A and B are shown apart, each in its own frame.
Chain A
Amino acid sequence: MLSPVNISMESLNLITLAPMLIPVVGALLIIIMDLFKSEQDKSLYVMISLLILGIDFMALLESAGVFAKDGTVMGVFDVMMIDGLAILSQFIIVVASMLFIPLALSKSRFSEYAYAEFFALFLFMIAGFQFMVSTDNLILVFVGLETASLALYTLIAMHNRDKSFEAAVKYFTMGALAAGFYSFGAMVFYALTGSVEINQIASVLSDNNYADIGFVLVGVVFMLASFGFKLSMVPFHTWTPDVYEGSSSALAGYMSIVPKIAAFVVAMRLFEFLIHSGVVWLEVVLYALVVITMTMANIWALVQQDVKRMLAYSSISHAGFVMAAILIGTTQANSALFFYWILFSVTNLGSFSMLWISRQKKLPSGQQSDHSFDKFSGLAKTSPLAASIMALFMLSLAGLPPFALFWGKMYMISAAVTGGYTVLALIMALNSAIAGYYYLKLIVYMFMKDPIIVHNADISAVNATNAIKTIVGVAVIGTIFAFLTVNSLLEFVTSFVYNSGY
C-alpha cells in the first residue's frame, strides 16, 4: 500500500519557481483574451506583455533579495535553483525582452504582430529561457531549451516572407540537431555518474578521479557541439547570418542577445567544473574554438554587403569573445561575461533597432536587400541625427572608449591578463582591431559617401514610432553614459557571481 506523500509547502520553496510562472500565466492570459475578443490591436498585447514582464522583474528582485540573504537556494524537489548566475541572466533576459517588445509597435504593418499568438509564444519563450538558466538539472535545461527554441522558430516564421520560412526551417533543423547532441551528451554523463544534476556529476567524477576520461570526453564533445550550435560558435555558426537575415531586425537583435546568455549560463555551469578539474583536452579545444570563432567571424564580416549580415557575423564574433570568459574561468572572467553581455545588449539592441526603424515595407529598385550598405550611403546628408546614432552604436561595438562596450572589452581582456592567458589577451585585442574595419565601413558609407540610391522619403525613419524612438533613445543614453554606471554594475555583478561560487 502506498503511503501518502508528505511534503510541506516550505520545502518546495515556491519563490524559486515564481519568476518563470509569471510569463507562463501571462501567455495563457493573452490566449484567453484572444478567445474572448479576437483581432485586437497589437498595442494591447504589447502593453500586456510589458506589464507581465514588469511583474516578472519584480519577482526577480524578490529572489535577488532572497539570494543576497540566504545564498544559493534550492526548491521544488531541488530541481529549481536560485543563485547569482540565474538571477543575473534572468535580469538580462527580462530587461532585454522589455526593450524588445515595444519594437513591435512599428509604423508599417507586419503580419506577425496581428496575431495574439506571437505575444503568447514570446512570453512562453521567455519562461523557457528562465527555466534553462535557473536549474542545475540537465533534463530541465533541456525542457527549457526546447520550449524556448520551438517558440522562437515560430516567431521567426511568422515574419511571413520567403526568407523567413527559409530561416525558420534552417534554424529548426540546426536546433533539432543541437537538441539531439545535447540529449546524447546528457545521456553519457548520466551513464557515467547516475545523475543529471551538474553538481552531482561533478562530485561523482572527481570522486573516482576521472577514471572514465574517455567517456567524459565523448560527453563533452556532444555538449560542445550542442552549445556550439546554440551560441553559434564557428564551425557551427553557418545558420546564423541566414536566420538573422530572414527574421525581422528587431527579432534578430533579440536573438543575438537573449538565447545566447541563457546558453552561456548553462555552458558556464557545465564546463567550469570540467576545466577546473584539469580536463586539458577541453581547455585546448575551447581555446581553439574561442580564437577561431572570434577571428573567422570577423574576417567574414569584412566582406558582407548587407548591414544585417555584417551585424550577424559581428555578434558571432562577440559571442566568441565572451566564450573566452568560460575558458579563463576565474571569478573576474565570469563577472566579465555578464558585465560584457549587459553592455553588449544595450548597444546591440540599439543598432538592430536602428535597422528596424529604417525598414521599408517594399524594396525600392536598385536595392539588393533590406539593409544593404548602399541604402545607408550618404545618410549623414539626409538625416544627420540617425546617421550619428548609428555611428555611435558602431563605435561602441568596435570598442571605442568611452562608449558602453569598451568597458566590457577592457574588463574581459583584463580578465584574460589576470588569468594568465597573455596570448589570448593579445588575440582579443587584435580582433577588436580587425572588427574596427567593418564597423568603420558603415560609418564611411554614411558620412563620407554620397547617396547611391535615390529615396523618395527619408528612409532613416520610415518605420519609426514614438515607442521605437524611445527604445533607441534608451540605448543611446545607455551607450554614451555607460561610464557612470560601470562601477555599480561591476560591484553588483561581481558580488553575485562570487557568492554563487563561480
Chain B
Amino acid sequence: MLDHILSILIFFPALAGVLGFVVNKDSIRSYGVAVATIEFVLALWLWFAFDNTVSGMQFMETIALIPTFGINYIVGVDGISMFIIILAAFFTMIGIASLGDTKDIKNMIITLLFLQMTMVGVFVALDAIIFYVFWELSLVPMLYIIGAWGGPLRIYASVKFFLYTFAGSLVMLVGMLFMAYFYYQATGQWSFALLDWYRLILPETFQLWLFVAFFFGFAIKVPMFPFHTWLPYAHGQAPTIGSVILAAILLKMGTYAFIRFSLPLFPDASVYFMYPIAVLAIIMIIYTAMVAYAQKDVKQVVAYSSVSHMGVIILGTFALNVEGISGSIFLMIAHGVVSGALFLLVGVIYDRRHTKMMDQFGGLAHVMPKYATIFGIMMMASVGMPLTINFVGEFLSLLGFYQQSHILTLLAGIAIIVGAIYMLAAYKKMFFGNVTKEENKNLPDVNKRELIALVPLVIITIWLGIYPKPVLGPINTSVESVVQLMHEKSITEEAKKRIPNLLEDITITKTSMKGAH
C-alpha cells in the first residue's frame, strides 16, 4: 500500500467526494471530517515512512498515459513537497471541522474534497502535463466556492480569479510545450517528465524566454506584484473556508512551482532575472504592507499582509542558495499556518457580527479573552516574532538573500517592520480600549468547534518556532540537491558564481578541519 500512497492521497478524497453525494445532508459534515481525517492520517503516515536522508524523489509511481507524446502519470514526493501536502491535508481537515452553518453544506464539503484532490495532485506531480491538469483543475472548485458562497461581489471576484489564473497558465502551457519540443530535438523523444527535463541543458536565450513563459503562470498564482489585483477581491468575497484554503495552500502552488520548475530548469535565467524579481518582491512587500495599513476591513488587512509575506517567500526562493530556498519553503508552511489561522479568526468574528469593519469593534479583549489571546499569538507570529514559526522562515529567507545583495535585504527587512505596524494597529483597533458598541458587549467567546481548529494551529506555530528541525531537516536535504543540480547545469560564469557549489563547500570544510588539527 505504501507503494501507492501518493495515488491514494490524490484520489481518495475525490472518490470520497463522489460517494458523498449519497450521504444524507445532516450527516455530511461528519462524513467530511472523517474523510479529511483519514486523509490527514495517511499524510502523516507518508511523513513517518519518508526517508529523511534521501534527497531525491520517493514513493515514485509511473503509469503510461500517452506514451506516444511523452505524457505519463508520474508522481513522487521529496522534502520540498511533503510538508505542503501534509499542510493541505491538515487544513482541509480543520477547515471542514470548523465549518459553521452554511447553506448547501453538502455541495461545499464535496467541493472541498475535490479541491483537496487537486491540491495534493499539484504537489506530487512530476510530469508537466499532469501538473498542469491538477493546477488548472484546482480553479474549478475554488471558482464555485467563491462564486456560490461569497459576498455581494462574488461573481466578479470568482470570474476574475478564474480568468486571471487561466490566462497565466495558458502561457505557461505554451512554455511547457516548448520545453518538451526542445527535449524532443535533443533526444528524439517526447517527454514531459520533470526528471527528464532536469537533465536538459538549454542555451541561455532559450532559458530566458521559457523562464518568462513559466513566470506568467506562477507569478499570477503567487500573486506577485503587479499581477496581484485578483487576490484582494477573491479574499474579500470568499467565504472563510475559501480564504483559508486559498491563502494556506493554493497560493503556495505558485511559489512551489518556482522551486520545482523555474530554478532547476533554467538556472542561468534565474540568475539573470534574480534582481528584477527581487525588486518586484520588495515592491510587493512594501507596497502591500502600506496598502494593508490603509484598510478598514480586517479581512483585507490579513489578505494584504498575506501577499506581503508571499513577497518574502519569493525573495528567499531567488536567493538561489540553500539557506534562502530552505527558508522560503519553511516560510510557505509557516505562512500557510499563520495566515490560514488569521483568516479562520476573522471568520470567527464575522460569524458573530456579520461585519469585518474594524471600526465596528474595539475592546474585544474584555469580551472575548480567549479569542483575543489566540489572535494575539497569531498576530505576533505574522509579524515574525522570534520563537514563532514565521520567524524561522523569514530569517532564513533574508539570510539567504543577504548573500546576494545587502541593500535589497535591508529594504525587505525594513518592510517587515512596517508589517509590525499595521498588524499591531489593527490589533489595537479591534481588541483594546473600551467596548464602544452595544452589540459587542455580549459576544460569546470562541466555542469548542472553533477551538478544535485553532488550538492545533497555535501549537504548531510555537512548536515549530522553537524547534523547526523535524521539518527543516528533510527540506534542507532536498534543497541541497536542487541547488547542486542548478550549479552543475548553469552555463554562464555569473550563474556559477551566484549559485554555490555545495560539493566544493564540503571539501573546503574538510581541509579547514585538517588545518585546525
Q: CB within 8 Å of B: which residues of A? A: 395, 398-402, 406-407, 410-411, 413-414, 417-418, 422, 425-426, 429-430, 432-433, 436-437, 440, 443-444, 447-449, 483, 486-487, 490-491, 494
Q: Are A483 and B65 in contact (CB under 8 A)?
A: yes
The CA of A429 and the CA of B67, in the complex, are separated in Å by 24
Knowing A402-B137, A410-B177 are in contact, say whether A429-B170 is a contact too (CB < 8 A): yes
Measured between beta carbons, the chain B residues less than 8 angstroms from A417 are: 174, 177-178, 181
Let me know if A413 and B174 touch, CB within 8 A: yes
Residues A430 and B170 in contact, CB atoms below 8 Å apart: yes
A429 touches B174 (CB 8 A): yes
Q: How far is the CB of B152 from chain A (nearest CB, A)?
A: 12
Closest partner residue, chain B, to A490 (CB atom): B68
By the criterion CB–CB under 8 Å, are A414 and B140 in contact? no
Given contacts A444-B147, A447-B144, contact A433 B170 (CB under 8 A): yes
Q: Are B65 and A487 in contact (CB under 8 A)?
A: yes
Which B residues are in CB contact (< 8 Å) with A440? 143, 159, 162-163
Q: Mark B199-217, 1 if CB is under 8 A from A, else 0.
A: 0000000000000000000
Given contacts A417-B174, A449-B155, 8 further A-B contacts (CB under 8 A): A401-B136, A411-B69, A425-B174, A426-B174, A429-B171, A430-B170, A436-B167, A483-B65
A437 and B159 contact, CB distance less than 8 A: yes
Bound-state CA distance A444–B66 (Å) is 33
Of B132, B144, B158, which one neighbours A401 at CB under 8 angstroms?
B132
Query: Is B148 close to A, CB under 8 A?
Result: yes
Contact present for B129 and A410 (CB under 8 Å): yes
B163:A433 contact, CB within 8 angstroms: yes
A486–B66 CB distance below 8 A: yes
Q: Does B294 contact A (CB under 8 A)?
A: no
Does B313 sit within 8 A of A, measured CB to CB?
A: no
Q: Are B162 and A401 in contact (CB under 8 A)?
A: no
- In whole angstroms, what is the CA distance A371 to B143 when docked? 24
| Chain B residues engaging chain A, CB cutoff 8 angstroms | 64-69, 129, 132-133, 136-137, 139-140, 143-144, 147-148, 154-155, 158-159, 162-163, 166-167, 170-171, 173-174, 177-178, 180-181, 184
A444 near B173: Cβ-Cβ < 8 Å: no
A257 to chain B, nearest CB (A): 24
Sample 25 A-B pairs with CB under 8 A, ordered by A number: A399-B170, A400-B140, A401-B132, A401-B133, A406-B133, A410-B177, A414-B177, A417-B174, A417-B178, A417-B181, A422-B178, A425-B174, A425-B177, A429-B170, A430-B167, A430-B170, A440-B143, A440-B159, A440-B162, A440-B163, A447-B147, A448-B155, A448-B158, A487-B67, A490-B68
* In-complex Cβ contact of B181 among A401, A418, A443 (8 A): A418
Main secondary structure of the interface of A (DSSP, over half): helix
Q: How far is the CA of A448 from the CA of B147 in the complex (A)?
A: 6
Q: Which 10 pairs show the lowest CB-CB distances between chains A and B?
A: A433-B167, A429-B170, A401-B133, A448-B147, A414-B177, A487-B66, A417-B177, A402-B133, A429-B174, A436-B166
Residues of B within 8 A of A436 (CB): 162-163, 166-167
Residues of B within 8 A of A449 (CB): 155
**Contact across chains for B174 and A487 when beta carbons are under 8 A apart:** no
Most chain B CB within 10 A, of A407, A433, A437, is at A433
Docked CA distance A407–B177 (Å):
12
- Do the beta carbons of A444 and B177 come within 8 Å of each other? no
Q: Which residue of B lies closest to A432 (CB)?
A: B170
By a CB distance below 8 angstroms, the chain B residues around A433 are: 163, 166-167, 170
- Determine the distance from Cα of A413 to Cα of B172 in the docked complex, in whole angstroms: 12
Contacts of B177 in A (CB 8 A): 410, 413-414, 417, 425
Q: In the docked arrangement, what's the CA distance between A416 and B464, Å?
A: 49
Quote the shortest CB–CB distance from A284 to chain B (angstroms): 22
Contacts of B167 in A (CB 8 A): 430, 433, 436
Chain B residue contacts of A432, Cβ below 8 A: 170
A-side contacts of B155, CB under 8 Å:
444, 448-449
Q: Give complex CA distance A417, B171 in Å.
A: 12
List residues of chain A with CB within 8 A of the CB of B132: 401
Known: A447-B148, A487-B66. A400 touches B136 (CB 8 A): yes
- Closest chain B residue to A488 by CB distance? B68
A470→B172 CA distance, assembly (Å): 37
Asked, given contacts A433-B167, A440-B162, A448-B158, whether A395 binds B173 with beta carbons under 8 Å apart, the answer is no
Q: Which residues of A contact B69 (CB under 8 A)?
A: 411, 414, 487, 490
Other-chain residue from A401, A414, A429, A487 in contact with B180 (beta carbon distance below 8 A)? A414
CA distance A429 to B171 in the complex (A): 6
Q: Could you tell me if A437 and B68 are in contact, using CB atoms closer than 8 angstroms? A: no
| Inter-chain contact A414/B181, CB cutoff 8 Å | yes
B264 shortest CB reach to chain A, Å: 22
Query: Of all chain B residues, which has the CB nearest A429?
Result: B170
Q: Closest CB of chain A to B469's CB: distance in Å?
A: 39
Q: Once the chains are docked, how many angstroms separate the CA of A432 from the CA of B174? A: 12
In the complex, A406→B167 CA distance in Å? 14
**For A443, what are the chain B residues with a Cβ–Cβ distance below 8 Å?**
143
Best-surrounded residue of A395, A444, A490, A494 (most CB of chain B within 10 A)? A444
Cα A429 to Cα B184 with chains together (Å): 21
Q: How far is the CA of A447 from the CA of B145 in the complex (A)?
A: 10
Min CB distance B182 to A, Å, is 10
Query: How far apart sit A483 and B65, CA to CA, in the bound complex (Å)?
Result: 8
Q: Are B137 and A401 in contact (CB under 8 A)?
A: yes
Determine how close the nearest CB of chain A comes to the CB of B190; give it in whole angstroms: 9
Which single residue of chain B is at the shortest CB-CB distance from A431?
Answer: B170
Contact flag A413-B166 (CB < 8 Å), given A400-B137, A444-B147, A448-B155? no
A401 to B167, CA, bound (A): 14
What is the bound-complex CA distance between A432 and B66, given in angstroms?
23
Q: Which of A406, A437, A448 has the most CB of B within 10 A?
A: A448
A414 and B144 alpha carbons, distance in the complex (Å): 30
Q: Are A426 and B147 in contact, CB atoms less than 8 angstroms apart? A: no
Determine the distance from Cα of A118 to Cα of B369 in the docked complex, in whole angstroms: 78
A410 and B128 CA atoms in complex are apart in Å by 12
Interchain CB contact under 8 A, A448 and B148: yes
Q: Which chain B residues lie closer than 8 Å to A429 at the CB level?
A: 170-171, 173-174
